[in-house]
Amino acid sequence: MAFELPSLPYSHDALEPHIDTRTMEIHHGKHHAGYTSKLNAAVAGTELEGKSIEEILSSGTLSAGIRNNGGGFYNHCMFWEVMSPNGGGAPTGDLATAINAAFGSLDAFKETFSNAAATRFGSGWAWLCVKDGKLSVCSTANQDNPIMKGVSCEGTPIMGIDVWEHAYYLNYQNRRPDYINAFFNVVNWEKVAANFTKAI
Ligand code: MN
């Protein structure tokens, strides 16, 4: 069964003013749609056809087409889910405890995550990951992610931010740090907490 572009869990304008409508339309409807169709074309007729995206991405050496488009498919599926028009604020429960244990405070976590996102040169992603029950932050180039073999990030990603220019340039131009700050106003901490619970 082919991969399908998931519907956004909110309307294109729901994340305004933090993420603008036009960016959401193009990002989901063009970029994510493109990764999805190209992933399907890349796995068609190969031994990876029919496997889950997690199985594919963790399977070892990937062709450029599967690495870039499979990563793009997976990463954006997570990205839409970890944002919400009702997001922002602070995490609670076990996730809050784990953030405090790993980083000292929510503000210290935000600084570490923002720094990873801001200093990723060129296109890529910053991640909050779980490994052996502990949280860590890292970043990857292009559409790579921590579940791929051989990337410098390790663990199960539970939150990611897209820092490709297509994610912010219409509204923020070169001001990537402003976009990263805005992201924290729409973080869906309930979803991140659910991802955390699944990953530990
Ligand atoms: Mn993107």
Q: How many angstroms does the Cα of residue 172 sit away from the middle of ligand 1?
A: 15
Q: How many angstroms does the Cα of residue 183 sit away from the middle of ligand 1?
A: 14
pLDDT in tens, 2-30: 999 999 999 999 999 999 999 999 999 99
Neighbours of ion ligand 1 (CB under 5 A): 162, 164
Q: How many angstroms does the Cα of residue 102 sit away from the middle of ligand 1?
A: 28
Q: How many angstroms does the Cα of residue 139 sit away from the middle of ligand 1?
A: 14
* pLDDT for the residue numbered 73: 98
Q: What is the mean pLDDT of residues 116-144?
A: 97
pLDDT-based confidence at residue 154 (cuts at 50, 70, 90): confident
Q: How many angstroms does the Cα of residue 46 sit away from the middle of ligand 1?
A: 26
Q: Taking the CB of residue 170, how many other CB atoms lie within 10 A of it?
A: 16
* pLDDT for the residue numbered 95: 98
Q: Name the nearest CA neighbour of 127 among 62, 195, 185, 67.
A: 195
Tokens 């997690």 locate to 54
* pLDDT for residue 1 is more than 90: no
Mean pLDDT (the chain) is: 97
Q: What is the mean pLDDT of residues 159-178?
A: 98
* pLDDT for the residue numbered 63: 95
Q: How many angstroms does the Cα of residue 93 sit away from the middle of ligand 1?
A: 30
pLDDT in tens, 31-89: 999 999 999 999 999 999 999 999 999 998 899 999 999 999 999 999 999 999 999 99
Q: What is the mean pLDDT of residues 167-186?
A: 98
pLDDT in tens, 132-143: 999 999 999 999
Q: Taking the CB of residue 154, how many other CB atoms lie within 10 A of it?
A: 12
| pTM > 0.85: yes or no | yes
Q: How many angstroms does the Cα of residue 20 sit away from the middle of ligand 1?
A: 14
Q: How many angstroms does the Cα of residue 24 sit away from the middle of ligand 1?
A: 10
134-141/156-162 β-pairing? unpaired
- What is the percent of the chain where pLDDT is above 70? 100
The CA-CA-CA angle for residues 177, 171, 161, to 5°, reads 50
Q: How many angstroms does the Cα of residue 98 sit away from the middle of ligand 1?
A: 28
Q: How many angstroms does the Cα of residue 25 sit away from the middle of ligand 1?
A: 12
Q: What is the mean pLDDT of residues 148-171?
A: 96
Q: What is the mean pLDDT of residues 175-183?
A: 98
Q: How many angstroms does the Cα of residue 68 sit away from the middle of ligand 1?
A: 11
Q: How many angstroms does the Cα of residue 125 sit away from the middle of ligand 1?
A: 9
* pLDDT for the residue numbered 127: 98
